[in-house]
Homo-oligomer: A and B are copies of this chain.
Amino acid sequence: MKSILHALAEPNRLRIVELLRSGPLTVGEIAERLSFNQPQTSKHLKVLSEAGVLLVEASANRRIYRLSPKPFQELEAWASSFRRDWEERMDRLDGYLQRLQQDGTER
């Protein structure tokens, strides 16, 4: 999770991720469309790959990068777990209020 967040937090890497939404691309294509130079592009792709955000497929001279579903599933699960925290807290508050009301009506 930490490495995923770190990889995505860098603005230019986030741009790469958004670009790859529409489909897999080679290093050169990514660099061209985002006006990055090639080495910098490779470095960002390395970070994203090592974080598991991207998958690489070697095809002859070229390397085709594509989004991996996993990190986004993890991110979604992690973010949604906070929603569950709220709901649990609400449940406890609800139970507490109900107990309060019951104590009031019983006597």
Chain B residues, CB < 8 A from A21: 82, 85
Q: From residue A91, how far is it (CB to closest CB) to chain B in Å?
A: 14
Chain A interface residue bracket vs B: 20 to 34
A72 touches B67 (CB 8 A): no
Chain B residues, CB < 8 A from A40: none
Chain B residues, CB < 8 A from A72: 79-80, 82-83
- Bound complex: CA of A32 vs CA of B82, how far in Å? 23
Counting CB contacts under 8 A, is A58 at the interface? no
Supply 12 A–B pairs (Cβ within 8 Å), ascending by A.
A1-B14, A2-B9, A2-B14, A5-B5, A8-B9, A21-B82, A72-B79, A72-B83, A73-B79, A73-B83, A75-B79, A76-B79
